[in-house]
Structure 1
Amino acid sequence: MVNINTLDPSASPLDYYGFELRRYREAAGLTQRQFGDIINYTGSMVGQVETARKLPTLDFSQRADAALCTGGLLTRLHPLVMRSQLPAWFQQVAELQSRAVGIYSFETHMVHGLLQAEAYARAVLGVLDSTDIDDRTVVRLARQRIFEKEEPPVFWAILGEAALLQEIGGKKVMREQLAHLLSFEGNPLINVQILPFSAGAHVGSQGSFDVYRFAGDPAIVYTEGYGSGHPSANPDTVKDCSLRYDHLQAAALSLRDSAGLIRRVMEDRYGEQVA
């Protein structure tokens, strides 16, 4: 167990969060139990967050800020804490996603992490390792808060039709995930297109990739392997992948037809079956 008296706030964003929470709570003259009662969490939960043994939720952070009059410190720290819990190789990518003004993604057989529903994300993350699955799921979903920024990025996602048919987590999970994709209909900032099997050979056959575009910096292409990520700002790579993306968009179904296909698969393949 971590000794709160020796908790080093410089060790990690989570340690810093816990250190500051405890400092503000003690300055208010509250025990962990008293403070928990005020924000509607258990004293045990407060203690675990203060000792960096439990990840704080956004709701916890907002309630703590309001109760302790921190000026929103913990809520501002929350995204940093979440990002720090990502695998080390992916933290740079999450930073790129948070700064991008435009994200252009092509996925061959899986829904992109920024569009994953909770149960789908849990199923993906738990394939080989279910350790700390609750926390890891929360951390993945926290990345989606980039769409809640004052100036969120424009996100174009092209999904191979296989992503709709690969049954991840079971029929109920897939139905929920496809419904989640349909929830973006009419949102001009989040656009989902399906590349159908009927498109045949295509320029994305070498694998999935993302293109990140920024307000004042060069674009970056991101590809991913097993346990590793590969961002590249090489102009030739960016030019090549941008051209590939244009061709993939041309081969993909329109936004309206894509939504129609997602809806049909959701109802025909994953709909509730009447005995």
Structure 2
Amino acid sequence: MHINVLDPGASPLDYYGFELRRLREAAGLTQRQLGEVINYTGSLVGQIETARKVPTLEFSQRVDAALGSDGLLSRLVELVLRSQLPAWFRHTAEQEARATEICTFQLHMVHGLLQTEAYARTVLGVLSQDDLDDRTAVRLARQRIFEKEEPPVFWAVLSEAALYQEIGGREVMREQLARLLSFEGNGWINVQVLPFSAGEHTGLQGSFNLYRFEGDSPIVYTEGYGGSGHPTADRATVKKCSLRYDHLRAAALSIRDSAELIRRVMEERYGEQGDTGGDPVA
């Protein structure tokens, strides 16, 4: 059988595949045998070994446990997943991973760090279904920053519109809003809703993120059409956006009142009880 020989220096994905094959062969296992041990198919093992499929953290942890590789693949997978992000976002993802505080304002949808798998999958699949499983896994992997010993403090101000923008259908939205409610009392992750009643506000120009660091200058990140992001450490821009964000937080509902609004929208708009036309029952 022809065996694809990877260049481990070509990319993090190639390096991962090279190491996976080396560890498996050192253990004297075929792809099928390893798959049986870790409860995955031998075909998937082969696809990952040949850099045709992106590994997940769970896959990596199972292989490390099965082959006694001391967490090697579990450490490598973080580099692999980050390398699969769009080129224009990779630097920002690195800043996101090392930030001590992240502040985000979102006009129309929930921020990626708070998205459920179904919600993220729907958002990413709007224009293309290509490699959707891998792209979804890559997005969700960014949420691991909250599992660090010292996670960043995360502040999210969501426009009320984001609660009503039905992404993926009622069940997906119900699950997503329940996810937001799960952060009540978290302390590290804080969600506020900017209500429609706030009227005109300082975020009307669009969504943006603020990243703050220990010992480094803060960064503002905005995103536009055309598949590009715009990070900047320009002091004047950061100062203006920081002021905008302060005003948004002041105009938003408290964390407790925000949770009550989210709960009400979840029950009334996306609750399981509805009439035949799909409209919520008051």
Q: Does 1:244 align with 2:244?
A: yes
Aligned length: 273
CA deviation string 1:100-148 (max 9, x = no partner): 0000000111100001111111111111111111111111111101101
> TM-score, normalising length from structure 2?
0.94
Aligned to 1:104: 103
Matched residue type, 1:255: I
Within a 5 Å distance, the mapping from 1:1-275 to structure 2 comes to: 3-5=3-5, 7-226=6-225, 227-274=227-274
Q: Kindly state the Cα deviation for residue 63 of structure 1 after the two structures are TM-superposed.
A: 1.1
CA distance in 1, matches of 2:154, 2:274: 37
CA drift of 1:45 comes to 1.3
The 2-side partners of 1:200 and 1:54 are apart by 47
Q: SS at the partner of 1:176?
A: helix
Which moved further from structure 2: 246-255 or 83-92? 83-92
- TM-score in terms of structure 1 length: 0.97
- 2-side partners of 1:229 and 1:21: how far apart? 34
Counterpart Cα distance in 2 of 1:150 and 1:48: 33
Question: Aligned partners of 2:47 and 2:203: how far apart in 1?
Answer: 46
* Distance across 2 between alignment mates of 1:181 and 1:133: 24
- Report the Cα distance in structure 2 between the residues aligned to 1:205 and 1:36, rounded to whole angstroms: 51
Deviation of the 1:69 alpha carbon? 1.7
| Deviation of the 1:41 alpha carbon | 1.6
The amino acid across from 2:231 in the alignment is: P
Whole-angstrom distance in 1 between the partners of 2:69 and 2:248 = 48
The one-letter amino acid paired with 2:251 is A
Q: Following TM superposition, where does structure 1 have runs of at least 4 consecutive aligned residues deviating by more than 6 angstroms?
A: none
CA distance in 1, matches of 2:55, 2:88: 23
Q: What is the Cα deviation at residue 176 of structure 1?
A: 0.8
Once the two structures are TM-superposed, the CA of residue 36 in structure 1 deviates from its matched residue by: 1.5
Q: What residue identity is the alignment partner of 1:132?
A: D
Moved more, 34-43 or 137-146: 34-43
Alpha-carbon distance between aligned partners in 2 of 1:147 and 1:232, rounded to the nearest angstrom: 24
Query: Shift in Å at residue 232 of structure 1?
Result: 0.4
Instruction: For residue 273 of structure 1, report the CA deviation from its aligned partner.
Output: 2.3
Following the alignment from structure 1 to structure 2, what is the Cα–Cα distance between the partners of residues 231 and 274?
Answer: 43
Q: Distance in 1 between matches of 2:91 and 2:67?
A: 32
In terms of mean alpha carbon deviation, does 166-175 or 37-46 score higher? 37-46
What is the distance in 1 between the residues matched to 2:159 and 2:208? Answer: 12
Post-superposition offset of 1:24? 1.0
Structure 1: give runs of 5+ residues left out of the alignment. Answer: none
Which amino acid is the alignment partner of residue 218 of structure 2? A
Q: Which residue identity lines up with residue 19 of structure 1 in the other structure?
A: F
Task: State the AA in 1 paired with 2:75.
Answer: R
**Shift of the alpha carbon at 1:172?**
1.0
Q: What is the letter of the counterpart of residue 259 of structure 1?
A: A
Consecutive unaligned residues in structure 2, runs of 5 or more: 276-282
Within 2, Cα distance between the matches of 1:92 and 1:27? 36
- Deviation for aligned residue 1:3: 4.6
